[in-house]
Chains A and B, each alone.
Chain A
């Protein structure tokens, strides 16, 4: 054995410039891989990594679109931002929006999924109905909502009047604008959560329910707490995080329905960034807001990634 190796080595040494076959195929694989991933790497650098770096750098400058000069101003943008009432309103509104949409859409998604799975009939129908808002172009639906919420001729107020309740100016009342947008957000999101919960429910082993039955579990309530809820635990955490990320990105409905108003009552982070960056073209400042936004979303995404790793922990 050693003899053979030695002779091979000698042969390689005897022909300088020739590599052993193994190395050549390694090298070929190396170059193939690089060639195949080159377009992706180039675009990643140009369109994702570069811009993330740029947004960080820009947030320390006073750059404005069209300005001839650009200067590093350190933390000035952030200092400005943190002393700006509008920014805090915007951040506070975003968090309030998240705090309404996440629990409601998760609870509704779970409840609907449980109801659908608890029977046999019309399962596909219900699933499709609740999923339609996820698919439908939100902007178009926002316009439909706007008409439904019309103070005089809107369906909602007409229905309220019918049952003897007072109508409201849903989108122009500062106290109601954000919660109203949140309701649209819930309406749009809960079907997505429902689908994730349905997938989670289906993957609970049937035998656990059989075992629970033989262990003397008689009520749906006990069955839920002994089997369903613990088995859905990881999915639920996951759905919460995804919903948080999604609702943190609220923009479309705000831009179309309220423009952040009335009186900044529905101003949210992405809308603030949009108006700073693309209406007033204060790019540096918009970049600073983007960094704040990025920090929140990254935190949530990192938690999500941790959860995916942990998802195996029952098995």
Chain B
């Protein structure tokens, strides 16, 4: 059962189409990331789900209910904003309490002094207070409840924004680039915290980010968006290892995947820069294909077997790993190889280096960028039969 679903969502601002017919089903309790380069429409999709923008066409379903035309405040969702959007004049306590006060007290009961005279308000206030304190304890904000947002660090503000979202039990949590305003170290730390929070709450999280590493590390599934469409939805592993589109292959993974020119020969065998690979594709002989091979799937070889011959152009030593840029004839971009430091010790700039791909590690894309189905060598007879 889908907790949140969108069907054929289109959204245009003036004449530009920001979303061009997006379909997505998000299961209850799932952590899904919408990831893509800036301008791909991921934030707009999130705001359409939230009800902050109205789609030009298509349906949004929350808990199987069509919520088209239902305003954001009635969709029972919570959101963490990129800028945190904390009320600067309210204390941390009050910021977290706002969603509860707005829902449990009416305008009269919320009046500063007079409201407290209404019967029952004191009790509700006490309940709200208890819940705020529970959330604050969970997020380590207990000592900061009296402070104003202006007196908090970026990380603390971020936690308050999360607290304001989780103090209720909404149908889903929407997070719009919540970590992008934090410094690199804190960002990595908060990733872990948010992932743990998701596990503890067991709630549906829809997480927008442009940072593929965030998406990879936190999500159950990732939806990669490009130019207003979802190009691929899958687990991080699927997305990484079996990209369905060359743009996905290039967007996911750091450093970037190597893209090499190849040609299909007899029986779907692919030859890349003179080297036949061990995989076969469903394509007519003579077809030009683009072949994606991850940097860790390329190995240096000292043997005499056929290999890509090149020379080392540049060595990036990050300490824990080493990226070797190898200039190979027939490609403009150097081929990137990821090595353990121990493997890279002998490699010097300018020296020749022969490279081989690991078995069954390449992805193949046609001239439109779509991935081509791959048949491992061993199954070739069966597949043809």
Q: Which A residues, 198 to 225, have Cβ-Cβ distances below 8 Å to chain B?
A: 205, 207-208, 210-219, 221-222
Q: Are B107 and A213 in contact (CB under 8 A)?
A: no
A219 to B73, CA, bound (A): 10
Q: Are A231 and B79 in contact (CB under 8 A)?
A: no
A221 to B110, CA, bound (A): 12
Q: Which B residues, 52 to 107, have Cβ-Cβ distances below 8 Å to chain A?
A: 52, 71-74, 77-79, 81-83, 85-90, 98-99, 102-103, 107
Q: Are A208 and B85 in contact (CB under 8 A)?
A: yes
Known interface pairs A233-B89, A314-B88, A314-B150; A210-B81 also in contact (CB < 8 Å): yes
The verdict on B164 contacting chain A, using a C-beta distance below 8 Å, is yes
Q: Are B71 and A213 in contact (CB under 8 A)?
A: yes
A212 to B85, CA, bound (A): 9
Interface residues on A, range: 20 to 34
A297 to B336, CA, bound (A): 72
The verdict on B26 contacting chain A, using a C-beta distance below 8 Å, is no
A216 to B89, CA, bound (A): 18
Give the A-B contact count at a CB cut-off of 8 A. 72
Q: Which residue of B lies closest to A216 (CB)?
A: B102
Known interface pairs A222-B102, A313-B150, A315-B150; A214-B77 also in contact (CB < 8 Å): yes
Q: Are A217 and B79 in contact (CB under 8 A)?
A: no
Q: Are B150 and A216 in contact (CB under 8 A)?
A: no
Q: Are A215 and B89 in contact (CB under 8 A)?
A: no
The verdict on A12 contacting chain B, using a C-beta distance below 8 Å, is no
Q: Which residue of B lies closest to A222 (CB)?
A: B107
The verdict on A34 contacting chain B, using a C-beta distance below 8 Å, is no
Partner of A217, one of B52, B78, B102: B102
The verdict on A43 contacting chain B, using a C-beta distance below 8 Å, is no
**Closest Cβ of chain B: how far from A150's Cβ, in Å?**
47
In the bound complex, residues from chain B placing their C-beta under 8 Å from that of A217 are 73, 102
The verdict on B50 contacting chain A, using a C-beta distance below 8 Å, is yes
A313 to B88, CA, bound (A): 9
**Closest Cβ of chain B: how far from A105's Cβ, in Å?**
25
In the bound complex, residues from chain A placing their C-beta under 8 Å from that of B90 are 230
In the bound complex, residues from chain A placing their C-beta under 8 Å from that of B98 are 212, 215, 226
**Closest Cβ of chain B: how far from A111's Cβ, in Å?**
20
In the bound complex, residues from chain B placing their C-beta under 8 Å from that of A107 are none
Q: Are A218 and B71 in contact (CB under 8 A)?
A: yes
Q: Which residue of A lies closest to B111 (CB)?
A: A225
Q: Are B52 and A213 in contact (CB under 8 A)?
A: yes
Residue of B47, B50, B98 ringed by the most chain A CB atoms within 10 A: B98
In the bound complex, residues from chain B placing their C-beta under 8 Å from that of A207 are 81-83, 85
Known interface pairs A230-B87, A313-B150; A215-B102 also in contact (CB < 8 Å): yes
A211 to B102, CA, bound (A): 12
Q: Are A227 and B87 in contact (CB under 8 A)?
A: yes
A215 to B86, CA, bound (A): 11
Q: Are A211 and B150 in contact (CB under 8 A)?
A: no
A315 to B83, CA, bound (A): 13
Q: Are B88 and A215 in contact (CB under 8 A)?
A: no
Residue of A215, A216, A227 ringed by the most chain B CB atoms within 10 A: A215
A176 to B71, CA, bound (A): 51
Q: Which residue of B lies closest to A221 (CB)?
A: B107
Q: Are A315 and B81 in contact (CB under 8 A)?
A: no
Q: Which residue of B lies closest to A314 (CB)?
A: B88
A213 to B150, CA, bound (A): 22
Q: Are B89 and A205 in contact (CB under 8 A)?
A: no
Q: Are B150 and A214 in contact (CB under 8 A)?
A: no
Q: Are B103 and A205 in contact (CB under 8 A)?
A: no
Q: Are A210 and B52 in contact (CB under 8 A)?
A: yes
In the bound complex, residues from chain A placing their C-beta under 8 Å from that of B52 are 210, 213-214
A221 to B150, CA, bound (A): 26
Q: Are B87 and A210 in contact (CB under 8 A)?
A: no
In the bound complex, residues from chain B placing their C-beta under 8 Å from that of A221 are 107
Q: Are A214 and B73 in contact (CB under 8 A)?
A: yes
Q: Are B107 and A210 in contact (CB under 8 A)?
A: no
Known interface pairs A226-B98, A230-B89, A231-B88; A211-B81 also in contact (CB < 8 Å): yes
**Closest Cβ of chain B: how far from A127's Cβ, in Å?**
23
A315 to B110, CA, bound (A): 26
**Residues on B facing A (Cβ under 8 Å):** 47, 50-52, 71-74, 77-79, 81-83, 85-90, 98-99, 102-103, 107, 110, 148, 150, 164
Q: Provide a sorted-by-A list of 6 A–B residue pairs whose CB atoms are within 8 angstroms.
A: A207-B81, A210-B50, A214-B73, A214-B77, A215-B164, A315-B150
Q: What 18 additional pairs, Cβ within 8 angstroms, besides A214-B72, A217-B102?
A: A205-B83, A207-B82, A211-B85, A213-B52, A213-B71, A214-B52, A215-B102, A216-B99, A217-B73, A218-B73, A226-B87, A227-B87, A230-B87, A231-B88, A231-B89, A314-B88, A314-B150, A315-B88
**Residues on A facing B (Cβ under 8 Å):** 205, 207-208, 210-219, 221-222, 226-227, 230-231, 233, 313-315
